[in-house]
């Protein structure tokens, strides 16, 4: 039997092995728990974002439908009612112009002969008036998102409107109005395409972050 003599203090420089293992395990479990909580929070944010985007798309569609109805009423008033109520000239005759750029060149070269409102409305007003038409047409009809179909449809509608103006004595048929209205509609079409490209890019980025 061996006896220890003198003052002998036993100091523990480190914890027992079982305590160290348990502490390391608790740390790993804590880290994993925090990671799982963070991942769940990210998934919740993404899901919430997706719901918000779907709601926004529905609200946007409803808003565009309402604006389109207002726009149609505005078109009817502008093309068929204003001229008929304010100008008796069209009630007495069928007025038309079949020479391309005749009216446009008249307003461009003789702008001093017209007041600003008449000059602006007959040139730029005819373009601006049909920009919403060019934007909303491919939005509501996927078949008209191809430019050729879109252009033929728009041209058909504009010609019908011009002929109706003349036959109803609400205005004149002017091939230059057809040209300017078509330019406005085409501008609206490419604005729609630009917005669609931006939306697709945004959706791609959102999908990539999921």
Structural domain includes residue 105: yes
Structural domain includes residue 39: no
Structural domain includes residue 27: no
Structural domain includes residue 134: yes
> What b/e readout covers 94-120, taking b as 16+ CB neighbours within 10 angstroms?
eeeeeeeeebbeebeeeeeeeeeeebe
Structural domain includes residue 103: yes
Q: Which residues contact 66 (CB under 8 A, 6 or more apart)?
A: none
Tell me which residue range forms the domain holding 112. Answer: 72-208
Enter the tokens of residue 89.
């000239």
Contact between 162 and 174 under an 8 Å Cβ cutoff? The reply is yes
pTM for the model: 0.72
Q: For every one of its 210 residues, what pLDDT tens digit does the chain have, with 9 covering 90 and above?
A: 444 444 444 444 554 545 555 556 666 666 666 666 666 667 666 667 667 778 888 888 899 899 999 999 999 998 888 765 556 666 677 889 999 999 999 999 988 899 999 999 999 999 999 999 999 999 999 999 999 999 999 999 999 999 999 998 888 899 999 999 999 999 999 999 999 998 888 766 655 555
Structural domain includes residue 80: yes
Structural domain includes residue 163: yes
Enter the tokens of residue 25.
């395990």
Contact between 137 and 150 under an 8 Å Cβ cutoff? The reply is yes
Q: How many domains does the chain have?
A: 1
Structural domain includes residue 137: yes
Enter the tokens of residue 107.
């307003």
């Amino acid at each position: 039997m061996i006896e220890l003599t003198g003052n002998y203090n036993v100091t523990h420089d480190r914890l027992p092995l079982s305590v160290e293992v348990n502490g390391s395990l608790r740390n790993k479990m804590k880290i994993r728990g925090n990671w799982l909580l963070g991942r769940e929070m990210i998934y919740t944010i993404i899901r919430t974002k997706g719901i918000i985007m779907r709601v926004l798309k529905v609200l946007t569609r409803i808003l565009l439908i309402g604006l389109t109805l207002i726009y149609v009423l505005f078109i009817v008033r502008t093309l068929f009612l204003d001229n008929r109520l304010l100008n008796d000239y069209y009630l007495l005759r069928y007025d038309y112009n079949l020479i391309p750029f005749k009216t446009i060149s008249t307003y461009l070269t003789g702008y001093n002969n017209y007041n600003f409102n008449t000059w602006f409305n007959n040139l730029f007003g005819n373009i601006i008036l049909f920009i919403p038409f060019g934007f909303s047409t491919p939005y509501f009809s996927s078949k008209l998102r191809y430019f050729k179909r879109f252009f033929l449809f728009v041209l058909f509608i504009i010609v019908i409107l011009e002929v109706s103006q003349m036959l109803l004595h609400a205005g004149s048929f002017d091939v230059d109005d057809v040209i300017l209205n078509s330019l406005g509609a085409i501008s609206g079409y490419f604005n729609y395409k630009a917005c669609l490209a931006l939306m697709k890019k945004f959706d791609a980025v959102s999908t990539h972050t999921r």
